Amino acid sequence: MTASLKLISHKLCPYVQRAVIALKEKGVPFERVDIDLANKPDWFLKLSPLGKVPVLVVTTEQGEVALFESNVICEYIAETQAGAKLHPEDALRRAEHRAWMEFGSAILGDVWGLETTTDPATFDSKRQALAAKFARVEAAFGAGPYFAGEAFSLVDAVFAPIFRYFDLFDELTEHGIFRDVPKVRAWRTALAKRPSVSTAVGADYPQLLRAFLVRHDAHLLKLAA
């Protein structure tokens, strides 16, 4: 049975990017609908119990189901769509990958603090926290180029949007977060070249991210002055 897929998204959301990357890796046709999270439409709030993106609306002959939470959406895509495998076959390895996906979400929490804080001390604290977390990733990383070696996986889909932030952050300051993690740096480079990753956002992403920093009066921007 063929299902039609509609992804409700926001142009900057890293969690949305995970789902987009997974869909593109599978070669699945889908409709993308961007919304303004500052002015959420009523129809969206009826679909999303948490009021967050992404939401994947799956329409079949039986009706419409709205899936929320990015990892749930990515797991559904991995399990139901034809194409490249995005999870290991082995149950233990699969569980390990899910754990690192959660670790990626924890990293995003620190990225949020880094990009929104107006306080220099908080910025430095988040910078150190990120360096420490990426050191943990470095220790767990294998031969590359991707987290599971030659095969692209959902862990890669989680980390690619994290690295994308730093394309702008690197222009603004010498933060040193990736200084001592050569495997992570190489991973970041490999992911940036992946078509599913590079096309997961629009050409206006850098401008939108910079405008986001301006709205938050981010300390990060002051470092570039």
For the stretch 175-214, pLDDT in tens is: 999 999 999 999 999 999 999 999 999 999 999 999 999 9
| Active site positions, annotated | 13
Whether the model clears a pTM of 0.85, i.e. scores above it, the answer is yes
Buried b (16+ CB within 10 A) or exposed e, 208-219: ebbeebeeeebb
Backbone angles phi and psi of 4, in degrees to 5:
-95, 145
Q: What is the DSSP letter of 87?
A: S
- Please give the single-letter amino acid code of residue 31: E
- 74-133 residue pLDDT tens: 999 999 999 999 999 999 999 999 999 999 999 999 999 999 999 999 999 999 999 999
Enclosing domain of residue 31:
4-80
For 75, the token pair is 């797991």
Instruction: Answer with the one of 52, 80, 108 that is the final residue of a domain.
Output: 80
| Domain assignment present for 85 | no
Give the H/E segment covering residue 44: helix 42-47
98 shares its domain with 196: yes
204 shares its domain with 105: yes
For range 147-160, the mean pLDDT: 97
For 30, the token pair is 């889908």
* Cβ atoms of residues 131 and 122 within 8 Å: no
**pLDDT band (50, 70, 90) for residue 2:** confident
| Domain assignment present for 86 | no
Instruction: Look at the block and give the residue holding tokens 């919304």.
Output: 35
